Structure 1
Amino acid sequence: MSLFEDVFPISRRPRAIAANGAADLICAPVSGRVIGLSQVDDPAFSSGMLGEGTALVPDGDVAYAPVSGTVAEVVGSKHALAIDADNGAQVLLHVGIDTVNLRGRGFRDFVGKGDRVGAGDALIWFDRELIRGSGLDDTVIVTVTNARELGGVEPTRAGSVRAGEALLRLKAVR
């Protein structure tokens, strides 16, 4: 194993997965157990300050695009990004709680600001063992920051979900 592979166990962008591309849907970025935002141990998310949405306790280590659109922002510590979706939603994808403190360690992003993505494209690889071993929570959060402008969002799933399946429904689409 090379030094690069020691630092980044995943050296190539994973293949895209099949995702429900309906205009009013936001798909699960990871497979896992769905939990409400109110259960997220971060007041910025649990209070709805960062939009309406949901969270997942992940089973895997790759987060896929929940929508098709343009990457609006990639956080320098690689744990979060925003997508301006084709359907008018501004979608925030955030991996972990307080993972900004890792300063990018344990993360690899596959996209940059301005990149076009399709629902199901691989966006971020994250090291769940490193996150949890650092005493942090690896919950993956998906919010629509402009949900009020779109009439809100409603969950389409409870329990378990597979990456690419419908997770949230927009009440209105631009």
Structure 2
Amino acid sequence: MGLFDKLSRTLPGARRQVPDAVTVAQDPQTVFAPVAGSVVALDAVADPAFAQGMLGRGVGIKAEGDVAFAPVSGTVVADVKTKHALLIRAECGAEVLLHVGLDSVRLRGAGFRTYVRKGDDVRAGQPVMSFDRSLMAERGLDDTVVVTVTNSDAFAAVEPVCAGEVAAGSELLRCER
């Protein structure tokens, strides 16, 4: 680690490096895990809007890390001021919501850092945001990462393809036309 690297990690407001990408298969019909952790069925997520499928079909993940990677290749079509969520339109037409934490909007962006913004093209596995899980715990917030396909009705099926533990970049959901 050089002097500049050391300074950029310690100075307040210093620009930090973007984390390395994770390797994914680049299958346009697949939504990949944005984080490593334990998969939670959507109806077991402790937020009624997600649990009732109001924001599409998908899953939650109890994250182990603090970096979220793009779950699909496509274009960021929405970001939020509070940096806790992104909507990415995948190459297959799926609109994939990546939402970090439940009620995390209350943090007003504290503890979040985004690496992309609306209009950016992303590749599955590319880092798109980082988040401070310890800050969420300190504030009594659930740090579950939720991934849904908000336009699920445009597909014949949007189904989880894994359960239990997942690695970032592993297959998570399959979108079938």
Partner of 2:46 in structure 1? 41
Partner of 2:7 in structure 1? none
Q: What is the CA–CA distance in structure 2 between the aligned matches of 1:136 and 1:32, rounded to whole Å?
A: 17
Q: What is the CA–CA distance in structure 2 between the aligned matches of 1:83 and 1:21, rounded to whole Å?
A: 15
Work out the percentage of aligned pairs sharing the same amino acid.
Answer: 51
The normalised TM-score by structure 2 is 0.92
- The structure with the largest alpha-carbon Rg is 2
Deviations 1:71-113 (A, max 9, x none): 0011110000100100110000000000000000000000010
Q: What is the CA–CA distance in structure 1 between the aligned matches of 2:156 and 2:59, rounded to whole Å?
A: 16
SS at 2:110's partner residue? coil
Which one of the candidate residues 4, 28, 33 is aligned to 1:28? 33
Asked if 1:62 corresponds to 2:67, the answer is yes
In the TM superposition, residue 20 of structure 1 has moved relative to its aligned partner by 2.2
Deviations 1:28-59 (A, max 9, x none): 00000001011111111000000000010001
In the TM superposition, residue 150 of structure 1 has moved relative to its aligned partner by 1.1
Asked if 1:72 corresponds to 2:46, the answer is no
Q: What is the CA–CA distance in structure 1 between the aligned matches of 2:118 and 2:50, rounded to whole Å?
A: 23
1:120-139 matches, cutoff 5 A: 120-139=125-144
SS at 1:45's partner residue? helix
Structure 1 runs of 4+ off > 6 angstroms? Answer: none
Query: Which sections of structure 1, spanning at least 5 residues, go unmatched?
Result: none
SS at 1:91's partner residue? strand
Alignment RMSD, CA only? 1.0
The normalised TM-score by structure 1 is 0.94
1:82-161 matches, cutoff 5 A: 82-161=87-166
Q: What is the CA–CA distance in structure 1 between the aligned matches of 2:157 and 2:130, rounded to whole Å?
A: 29
Q: What is the CA–CA distance in structure 1 between the aligned matches of 2:115 and 2:148, rounded to whole Å?
A: 20
